[in-house]
Amino acid sequence: MPAHTPGTSRADLIADSALALLTERGMRGLTHRAVDERAGLPQGSTSNQARTRQALLEAAVRRQAEREAKVLVPAEMPVPGSDLDELAGALALALHRYLTGPRELLVSRYELALEATRRPELRAYYDAAGRQFRAPLVRLMRAAGSSAPERHALSLISFSEGLMFSCAAGSYHAEVPSLAEIRRSFAELLSGMLTGPGIGPGPGRR
């Protein structure tokens, strides 16, 4: 890997290299020396940027969230109150784009998530980075008329993350669902949440 690519800072290069190592070698393969080698930087460069392992992991989490945001693009979500078809389509497009993009992001996300279960200090940092995706979804569900926006957002996130895991390391790693299939699944989930028995009409419902 070249030491620098256009538009990439040294901090991002180091973080990207850390994510690549997590994908290729797992958590044990993530060392400051290995990051220097993977990034094509002089020895000691990573230590100067992130002196401790915790700092290196935090840099990886930050970069993971930044790169996921470019794929999932929370800003592309429809405005609150949009109809269910539009919401299902936007969610499906974001998830399908992630599943068919660089596999590195899928694998590194689980390496970091598992490490966060062992490091309370990383857990807090990891959770804070993830709120950029959770909060907009809660707002969308509330605007759609959800009687339990937090719970329904959790269900949508759980479906998405379950599919991510299945396609990254589970039984569907070689057969990613099509965009149409994912959209249908989201439509079914949203319909059950927002137009199920005992739930009256609300914004965006048909």
**Which pLDDT tens digit goes with each residue over 108-163?**
999 999 999 999 989 988 888 878 788 888 988 999 889 999 999 999 999 999 99
Count Cα atoms within 13 angstroms, Cβ side, for 97.
Answer: 15
User: What's residue 197's pLDDT?
Assistant: 55
* Mean predicted confidence (pLDDT) in 84-94: 90
**Which pLDDT tens digit goes with each residue over 32-74?**
999 999 999 999 999 999 999 999 999 999 999 999 888 877 6
| Residues ≥6 apart with Cβ < 8 Å to 204 | 81, 82, 83, 84, 86, 87, 143, 144, 145, 194
**75: confidence class by pLDDT, cuts 50, 70, 90:** low
CA–CA dist 51, 140 (Å, integer): 40
**Which pLDDT tens digit goes with each residue over 168-201?**
888 888 889 999 999 999 999 999 998 865 444 4
The conformation of residue 78, written as its DSSP 8-state character, comes to: P
User: What's residue 102's pLDDT?
Assistant: 79
Q: What angle do CA 179, 113, 133 make, to 5 degrees?
A: 50
Q: Cα dihedral angle (97, 100, 106, 107), rounded to 10 degrees? A: -170
* Mean predicted confidence (pLDDT) in 84-98: 90
User: What's residue 195's pLDDT?
Assistant: 80
The per-residue DSSP string of 118-181 comes to: T-HHHHHHHHHHHHHHHHHHHHHHHHTT-SSHHHHHHHHHHHHHHHHHHHHTSTTTT-PPPHHH
Q: Above 80 in pLDDT, residue 81?
A: no
User: What's residue 13's pLDDT?
Assistant: 96
How much is the pTM? 0.80
Q: What angle do CA 170, 12, 40 make, to 5 degrees?
A: 90
Q: Above 80 in pLDDT, residue 95?
A: yes
User: What's residue 204's pLDDT?
Assistant: 43
